[in-house]
């Protein structure tokens, strides 16, 4: 079984067997409050998925972590939770590009409807009048989405023109399915492939940064010293 966690858009958790059977899934679509939502979602999903002896928590073999693209504050919550859980269980973390999960859901829906899905771009709101997008061109022999471009950031007003140049239909991602994230991880493991880098795909650097150097400490005034003049 694979535990999947993604906080690139909302907060999503799932437990999925390696053959794609979804044992438990939960999500919060709130783009904020990842830290507040993740604990309850994990507890509920794990309880639901491991309610029988044959599907105990010990059966978990990996944790799929959504690596973005996503905002710094939210994305790191899910990655930290995935890494902490994997460390505690002694199982590996499988990093997955979050847009790959969205793309796989689109491609599978097309296959079930017998619709040929043409080249498309998964687009997510990066805020600050920007979008993150990744272009996909079908599915490969391992059942994984084929990335025609890596995730990139673009100003909102330039997106549609850029997608027209790339001949890619726009598919907005309002959520990321943790179940699909787990399936991408399972198929990647079965094929012996690394689905993503271990480095998070942050949309931009954090707004808060460390100071460039230590602050200079000045001696207190005479009147501030113990026993000094008032």
pTM of structure = 0.85
pLDDT for residue 220 is more than 60: no
In a domain, 201, yes or no: no
Full residue range of the structural domain in which residue 32 is found? 2-191
3-state SS assignment for residue 187: helix
CATH of residue 86: 3.30.420.40
Please tell me the predicted confidence (pLDDT) of residue 57: 63
In a domain, 197, yes or no: no
Please tell me the predicted confidence (pLDDT) of residue 221: 53
pLDDT for residue 222 is more than 90: no
- Number of folded domains in the chain? 1
Q: What's the whole-number average pLDDT of the chain?
A: 88
In a domain, 222, yes or no: no
39 Cα distance to chain centroid: 16
Instruction: Tokens 């909102």: give the residue.
Output: 156
In a domain, 214, yes or no: no
In a domain, 100, yes or no: yes
3-state SS assignment for residue 211: coil
Please tell me the predicted confidence (pLDDT) of residue 150: 94
In a domain, 35, yes or no: yes
In a domain, 229, yes or no: no
In a domain, 103, yes or no: yes
Per-residue pLDDT tens for 15-50?
999 889 999 999 998 778 898 999 999 999 999 998
Q: pLDDT tier at 53 (50, 70, 90 boundaries)?
A: low
Instruction: Choose among 72, 69, 74: nearest CA to 29.
Output: 74
Please tell me the predicted confidence (pLDDT) of residue 208: 44
């Amino acid at each position: 079984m694979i535990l999947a966690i993604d906080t690139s858009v909302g907060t999503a958790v799932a437990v999925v067997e390696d053959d794609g059977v979804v044992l438990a899934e939960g999500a919060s679509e709130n783009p904020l409050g990842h830290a507040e939502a993740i604990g309850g979602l994990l507890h509920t999903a794990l309880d639901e998925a491991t309610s029988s002896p044959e599907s105990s928590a010990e059966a978990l073999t990996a944790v799929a972590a959504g690596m973005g693209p996503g905002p710094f504050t939210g994305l790191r919550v899910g990655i930290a939770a995935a890494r902490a859980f994997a460390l505690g269980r002694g199982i590996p973390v499988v990093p997955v590009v979050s847009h790959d999960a969205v793309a796989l859901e689109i491609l599978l829906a097309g296959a079930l409807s017998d619709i040929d899905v043409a080249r498309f771009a998964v687009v997510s709101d990066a805020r600050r009048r920007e979008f993150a997008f990744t272009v996909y061109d079908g599915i490969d022999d391992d059942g994984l989405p084929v990335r025609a471009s890596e995730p990139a950031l673009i100003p909102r007003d330039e997106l549609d023109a850029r997608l027209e140049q790339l001949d890619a239909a726009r598919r907005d991602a309002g959520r990321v399915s943790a179940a699909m994230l787990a399936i991408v991880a399972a198929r990647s493991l079965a094929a012996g492939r690394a689905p993503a880098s271990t480095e998070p795909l942050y949309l931009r650097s954090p707004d808060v940064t460390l100071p460039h150097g230590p602050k200079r400490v000045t001696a207190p005034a005479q009147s501030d010293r113990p026993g000094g003049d008032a």
